[in-house]
Amino acid sequence: MAYIWINPVTAGMYEPEVLNAFLHHNGYKRMEASGDWLTIVKEKYRLAAQQAPNAVMDVRCPKIKEVLNEVDIVSDTTIPNINPILIHCGIEVSEREDLQGEEKIITTPCQALADMGNALGLKDTQFVPWNQFLKIIGDRPKGSLPKASPIPPGFFDELGLKTVSITGEEEIRNYFENDVPDGVQLVEMLFCKEGCHNGDGIRACES
């Protein structure tokens, strides 16, 4: 039996008992990361924003880095070296002693996160977009795409920092047509419009 970690976007598409039964039926045992990576990553951004001389860019989404590489504002901002939560989870489970030698699948809501994870070359660990995983096994659980984002903007709200939140590629590019306003400490960005729920790794998963 292989082990599988389900990302929150995918988990939000199904009833837990339906998803777990589906995975078991197809020979997968669901696993969880033990670290509180959401809190850890949030704290990393808080410290980065407090210490940086200019606005810190939110790069939890790999696609954001592609956009930032194409805009002039990059030289006037700080791009932190902070991995996405999903990547932290994947690294943790790949290193678990009790899972050494076992196949481990990390599902992602998009191809960009899968590519980022697979580039790490973690032992016995593969990052796979959810819709590709379903295609590989030739089966799907009963569920539907979420109507509201399970990962909406507002991740940094409780930190008390002066934050700007932007979603969608067009809006992000438009924002950087001008300089980041003075006083902004953190620019939260989600490549997918309205939040991380409509990435290319979960599209066409309705049943």
| pLDDT score for 143 | 75
Question: Is 30 inside a domain boundary?
Answer: yes
CB 115 within 8 A of CB 96: no
Question: Is 200 inside a domain boundary?
Answer: no
Domain enclosing residue 99, as ranges: 2-190
Question: Is 26 inside a domain boundary?
Answer: yes
Question: Is 7 inside a domain boundary?
Answer: yes
CB 134 within 8 A of CB 128: no
Q: Which residue ranges of the chain lie beneath pLDDT 70?
A: 73-74, 145-149, 204-207
Task: Enumerate residues 6+ apart whose C-beta is below 8 A from 148.
Answer: 197
**Cα separation of 19 and 142, whole Å?**
8
| pLDDT score for 207 | 46
- Distances from the Cα of 116 to the Cα of 13, 65, 102, 110, 178, angstroms: 23, 12, 21, 10, 30
**Cα separation of 9 and 89, whole Å?**
14
Closest Cα to residue 199, out of 59, 84, 63, 83?
Answer: 63
| Region of 127 on the Ramachandran plot (φ > 0 left; ψ -120 to 50 alpha; else beta) | beta
The pTM score is 0.91
For residue range 155-191, what is the model confidence (pLDDT) as tens digits?
999 999 999 999 999 999 999 888 888 899 999 999 9
Question: Is 79 inside a domain boundary?
Answer: yes
| pLDDT score for 59 | 95
Question: Is 206 inside a domain boundary?
Answer: no
| pLDDT score for 1 | 82
Question: Is 93 inside a domain boundary?
Answer: yes
Rounded to a whole number of angstroms, the distance between the first and last alpha carbons of the chain is 25
Question: Is 207 inside a domain boundary?
Answer: no
| pLDDT score for 202 | 83
The count of structural domains within the chain is 1
